Chain A
Amino acid sequence: MFVFLFAPIAIVVLFSFNKTASLTFPFHGWSLRWYRAVFSSPLYRDAIVASLRVALITVLVVVVVGTLAGIGVTRHDFRGRGLVRFFMLFPAALPGLFLGIALLSFFVQTKVSLSLWTVTVGHLVYVVPYFFLVVVSRLQRFDYLLEEAARDLGAGPFATFRRVTLPLIAPSLIAGALVVFSLSWDEVFITFFTIGAQNTLPLVIYSTVKQSVDPSVNAISTLLLAGSLVFVLSVRRLVADLQQ
């Protein structure tokens, strides 16, 4: 099963170091020419910058908004709490196609010109459920006596949050942020509809693959994989630290 899951990826990584352009198996030698091609191409460079920009802004906004909502839902009992919970998770139940076309027709309607900002809005609503889940599941395991103790010792609500709550939930927030980053970094479905003139990395790969066989796609794909792998590994480290 793991062979089936990983073999295709292994092949892409392998061919990214191939000397020749063909995809045949007797290798003619190793080279880094496809990586050089990627880094010297302004198309790929711009796309990497665009993807990074979208992902970073998405992460920043969702961390603030999602953490606040997570605290609101776990700490306070209010009417409509169940509805808010449902609402936060709802975007995950819809295919990206639907989110994409709904946003596209809304932007066209309101005459908002498509740009990386419209892409960011799409990514934002797409990642909210995932971050919300991470925060809520951490806060549900939170020992409230710690906050109570801080209050008893005279700390105000903001001091309590900054000095007690935040440091304790920080690893989960970082883990959630990394998950969100890699979701945004890979996203094609919503991006396809909400993108303007600038392209993100997955869209450049999509159009290149659709048009021709270009071995530099192997190299850029490997870079993309390496990126997400770093994130998964750091999440694993964080989780391991948490469990200790």
Chain B
Amino acid sequence: MTATAVARERLVPIGFSARRRQRLVVALLVGPAVLVVAGALLVPAANLFVQSFMESGGYGQVTYHFTLSNYTDALRDPVYRTVAWHSFGLGALSALICVVAGYPAAYYITFKLRRGRTLALFLVVVSLFTSYLVRLYAWDTILGSHGVINTALIHLGIVKEPLLFLLFSRTAVLIAWVNVFLPYSILMLTSSMQNIRPDLLENARDLGTGPLRTFTRVVLPLSMPGAVAAFTYTFILTSGDYITPALLGGTSSTSLANIVSDEFVALGNRPAGAAISFVMLTIFFLVYLVLTRLEKLRGI
């Protein structure tokens, strides 16, 4: 690569016009993609940000009059605050479960499996690509009042009435989330463990370190970046999820994301929804910042 660069430089001396041409080429290559992301994300996000400081003028209308009340409402409203605690708490819990459950799986795949390793990873990827919605629906058929578990229990005469707490509860949401996001955790943890040289583990064993201690002193610290990435990713996507709580959560676990989507679709108060979503993004960013900082500090 460097040899090529040197060769190229010697053959074609870069003059002013050549540099200019180079700039044009770069613009033509990168331009369209930048345009897509700018047009379909950056501009709309900026627009949303501006709207979050405007007043709502009835359903679907925005009055262009500066106000901070959307943010003060979002932060002060006790209902929002309880819902926020619940949804961030549930998101964090599911992210934690995914990372903790992902560790043994990733460890096994990386260090114990030899021939079956590609197959195991392939299966993880397959489960990743099976439709999100179908898996939610699957849990609906398993946990629902006419679902597999309840009909089986009634059939066997263990219970008379279907157990309703199975579906439409936080537990159902949690189970579905772990089911959906566990593969991501496994993949992220596996890829960070692949950087650990197996002879490090052998050395530790030769020096008389037990398996548990090897794990906590060698594997855990070296795979921490993967764990942080997996946690943050799962936390953001679960706390920002409005489909799962709507399908499986029932009324018991309205999430912050549901409130945002309701403000937009059902209530037509876009400024309020925008303000809540920016508060959410800020929290995501803070969580990410704190976790990466902690991870770096630990390394010193």
Report A's interface with B, CB cutoff 8 A: 1-2, 4-6, 8-9, 11-12, 15, 22-25, 61, 64-66, 68-69, 71-73, 75-76, 78, 84, 87-88, 90-91, 93-99, 101-106, 108-109, 121-122, 124-125, 128, 132, 144-145, 148, 182, 186, 188-189, 192-193, 202, 205-206, 209-210, 213, 217-218, 221, 224-225, 228-229, 231-232, 236
Are the CB atoms of B137 and A121 closer together than 8 Å? no
Are the CB atoms of A69 and B30 closer together than 8 Å? yes
Residues of chain B contacted by A125 (CB below 8 angstroms): 36-37, 40-41
Shortest beta-carbon distance from B240 to chain A in Å: 3
B142 close to A (CB within 8 Å) = yes
* Known contacts A76-B22, A78-B23, A124-B40; is-contact A102 B47 (Cβ 8 Å): yes
20 contacts between A and B (CB under 8 A): A1-B182, A4-B179, A5-B182, A6-B123, A8-B141, A71-B29, A76-B26, A87-B38, A94-B41, A95-B284, A101-B260, A101-B270, A102-B44, A105-B48, A109-B62, A125-B40, A205-B134, A221-B134, A228-B129, A232-B125
Are the CB atoms of B247 and A210 closer together than 8 Å? yes
Shortest beta-carbon distance from A83 to chain B in Å: 10
Shortest beta-carbon distance from A212 to chain B in Å: 11
Shortest beta-carbon distance from A144 to chain B in Å: 5
Residues of chain A contacted by B148 (CB below 8 angstroms): 11, 23, 25
Residues of chain A contacted by B140 (CB below 8 angstroms): 209
* Minimal Cβ-Cβ distance residue in A for B176: A8
* Known contacts A15-B141, A23-B148; is-contact A84 B132 (Cβ 8 Å): no
* Minimal Cβ-Cβ distance residue in A for B49: A102
Which among A2, A23, A128, A217 has the highest number of chain B CB atoms within 10 Å?
A23
Beyond A93-B236, A105-B44, A109-B47, 17 additional pairs, beta carbon < 8 A: A1-B182, A5-B123, A8-B142, A23-B147, A69-B33, A87-B34, A97-B257, A97-B261, A101-B48, A102-B44, A124-B36, A148-B7, A148-B8, A186-B133, A189-B243, A193-B261, A218-B141
Main secondary structure of the interface of A (DSSP, over half): helix
Are the CB atoms of A12 and B134 closer together than 8 Å? yes
- Give residues of chain B (206-243) contacting chain A, Cβ–Cβ below 8 Å: 236-237, 239-243
Instruction: Report the stretch among B71-79, B189-197, B273-281 that lies at the interface.
Output: B273-281
Residues of chain B contacted by A193 (CB below 8 angstroms): 261, 264-265
B68 close to A (CB within 8 Å) = no
B60 close to A (CB within 8 Å) = yes
Residues of chain B contacted by A128 (CB below 8 angstroms): 33, 36-37
Are the CB atoms of A88 and B240 closer together than 8 Å? no
CA distance A38 to B60 in the complex (A): 36
Report B's interface with A, CB cutoff 8 A: 1, 4, 7-8, 22-23, 25-26, 28-30, 32-34, 36-38, 40-41, 43-45, 47-48, 51, 60, 62, 101, 105, 122-127, 129-142, 144, 146-148, 151-152, 155, 179, 182-183, 236-237, 239-243, 246-247, 257, 260-261, 264-265, 270, 273-274, 277, 280-281, 284
Are the CB atoms of B37 and A91 closer together than 8 Å? yes
* Minimal Cβ-Cβ distance residue in A for B256: A97
Are the CB atoms of B29 and A69 closer together than 8 Å? yes
Shortest beta-carbon distance from B162 to chain A in Å: 12
Residues of chain B contacted by A2 (CB below 8 angstroms): 123, 127
The residue that A229 contacts in the complex, of B37, B130, B243, B260, with Cβ under 8 A, is B130
Residues of chain A contacted by B62 (CB below 8 angstroms): 109
CA distance A75 to B126 in the complex (A): 33
The residue that B133 contacts in the complex, of A72, A121, A188, with Cβ under 8 A, is A188
